[in-house]
Amino acid sequence: MKRLLFLLPVAGFIGLIIVFGVGLTRDPKLLPSQLIDRPLPQFALPGIEDSEGGGPGFASAALRGEPMLLNIFASWCAACPQEHPVLTQIAGEGVPVYGLAWKDEPADSRTWLQRWGNPYKAVAADYKGRTAIDLGVTGVPETFIVDKNGRVRYKQIGPISPEDWSGKIKPLLAQLRAEA
């Protein structure tokens, strides 16, 4: 009986090691999104054009008609400058890219875009973060690939690298254009 009591914590410790070992083998970027193959949640947000956050923003209804990207960013995001040259390249290749400034002051978003450049067709201000919650955003940057019908087809967690663009996102956009 004493032997069994001694082996119980050892068995529990070994079980924890197995659970943590399996968890470490999984890619944290592969978080499933509940929005895949579903329409974007309905939203209408102001832009970042003036200090009150007014001006031209966009609504979810604007994200229809052709495949496009919806990029969630913030001026305080440490990884956003890493992906910004790739977003600029994507926009330069004719892909519509919409920006959603998450939990950011409009003035800070404008300053950030003036510093790094603005690849976005339009930028909406999600100051309170409600839209990002509806989208299932867990952090910035995150990017959604939206098809011509306004349905989410892919979610990129973290910055888009040149390899992500050429290996995953660009082929998916070509496929979505071919479906049109």
Query: Which carries the bigger pLDDT value, residue 59 or residue 26?
Result: 59
Cα–Cα distances in Å, from 139 out to 51, 110, 121, 154?
A: 24, 20, 22, 16
Domains within the chain, CATH numbers bracketed: 34-179 (3.40.30.10)
Segment 103-117 shows an average pLDDT of: 93
Which tens digits make up the pLDDT trace of 17-29? 877 777 676 655 5
Give me the pLDDT at residue 9, please. Answer: 75
Give me the pLDDT at residue 141, please. Answer: 97
Give me the pLDDT at residue 53, please. Answer: 41
Segment 97-111 shows an average pLDDT of: 94
pLDDT band at 47 (very low <50, low <70, confident <90, very high): very high
